[in-house]
Amino acid sequence: MSEVPEVLRRAHLIGIGGAGMSGIARILLARGAQVSGSDAKDSRAFLALRAQGAVIAIGQSADNLDAFPEGLSAVVVSTAIKETNPELVAARERGITVLHRAQALAGLMEGHRVACIAGTHGKTSTTSMLTVALQHCRLNPSFAIGGDLNESGSNAHHGDGGIFVAEADESDGSFLAYTPSVAVVTNVEPDHLDHHGTAEAYVDIFEQFVGRIEPGGVLIVCGDDAPAALLADHASAAGVRVRRYGRTVTGDENARVLDYTPSADGGFVRVALQGTEIDVKVAVPGEHMALNAVGALLAGLELGAPLEGLAEGLAAFGGVRRRFEFKGRAGDVRVYDDYAHHPTEVAAQLLAVRQTAGAGRVVVVFQPHLYSRTKAFSDEFAAALALADEVVVLDVYGAREEPEPGVTGALIADKIVGAVVHYEPAFDTAATLAVDILKPGDLLVTMGAGDVTQLGPEILAELDRRNEQG
């Protein structure tokens, strides 16, 4: 069993139900650490954590820091935890070490060969693909991902293979805590400007991330993305070994995408690599997903996995929760759910949805995420959503942000041209509206990073009810 850093032997995680925090808790518990935590409300994730021995409190109080007689070695927080949080205040008053989530994860990476997957879009899917492909090769990696694998239902795992695969989050710059030997950058497109301030600062944080690659390590980038390709050029000039993938790259050390053929259950991507051509089955739809698979393929090769085994593993990849996840069928209507919350992600996913929909209409229920992102990219969101046949735009899911005057879902809805558009600020009536506009053969996708994911089951239930009534 891998060692737990001394500072994490008795750790309390504030917001333990979050995707990143729950993953760290899983690995700590598997390695024999004592773990306590708290969150504002109960969660299904707590069932497994409690079964592993975690002490979890609902509600946050300084008293929650007293779970272990020996006292805590560290309190772990994310960027979302405010300085006024009573547990964080108490930890500082007591002199308990406070670690950011990324620092804790970096501690768990010690002693492993580390692969970090970064990028504005596609990092969760690429990390997941790489993890499943390595598992298929029986390398049993540890992993920490921002979503649950459909194969295991888990977002993290302690493996004994000496490899650690992690999704590297650029949103708050915390991925600078990692020192990967294999770093993948899928693309670089300005986002999270509420934290970074400017597009230039956002791009610079990726330059700094590349500077974290350990000596002798490798950077893998999508050469079709201009900013990522420029990042690769800078890295190569600085002496970092670089491998590229995409339609525009050349050279035997790179992976050139020759063709992509969509199919009913995903697609096939033909790749020129190492002097040969191979066909890789990708079980999730869209050429953007095929590119992610090729990036994962290169990373797997760098980690010592065989090409044939990796290709077989990628073909077996069943997807990630909330990444074009099939929720069910009611009559002739199919319902999916997707996490896309940036214009480029929305456009790429809707192009893939169109291939899956066939002759049916594409209907989207879209929930903007963050007031700052909605304000900055309203034009781009409108253009992306116009790829659907009919769109329901909800109000903004503010998450960590306070409302901003004049910034609502209408800012996007009013600019959509070419699709039938509905702006529905009342979340409670959105499912009914969606069912009202659906026709036999339609494919509906709920889309966004907020609680829009709750609507899929409601829509299916209402469709079933109406079908029973005839």
Catalytic residues, by residue number, are: 123-124, 167
Under a CB-based contact definition with an 8 Å cutoff, are residues 365 and 392 in contact?
yes
Distance CA 293, CA 299 (A): 10
Which of 316, 281, 321 has the alpha carbon at shortest distance from 133? 316
Alpha helices by DSSP H, 223-363: 226-237, 287-302, 307-316, 343-357
| Number of Cα atoms under 13 Å in the Cβ half of residue 69 | 0
Q: Six-digit token pair at 2?
A: 């891998």
Distance of CA 136 to CAs 197, 261, 353, Å? 41, 24, 28
How many C-beta atoms lie closer than 10 Å to residue 405's C-beta? 6
Relative to beta strand 74-77, strand 156-157 is unpaired
- In sequence order, the β-bridge partners of residue 156 are 144
| Number of Cα atoms under 13 Å in the Cβ half of residue 396 | 25
Secondary structure letter of residue 1 according to DSSP = -
Distance of CA 295 to CAs 220, 225, 319, Å? 7, 13, 16
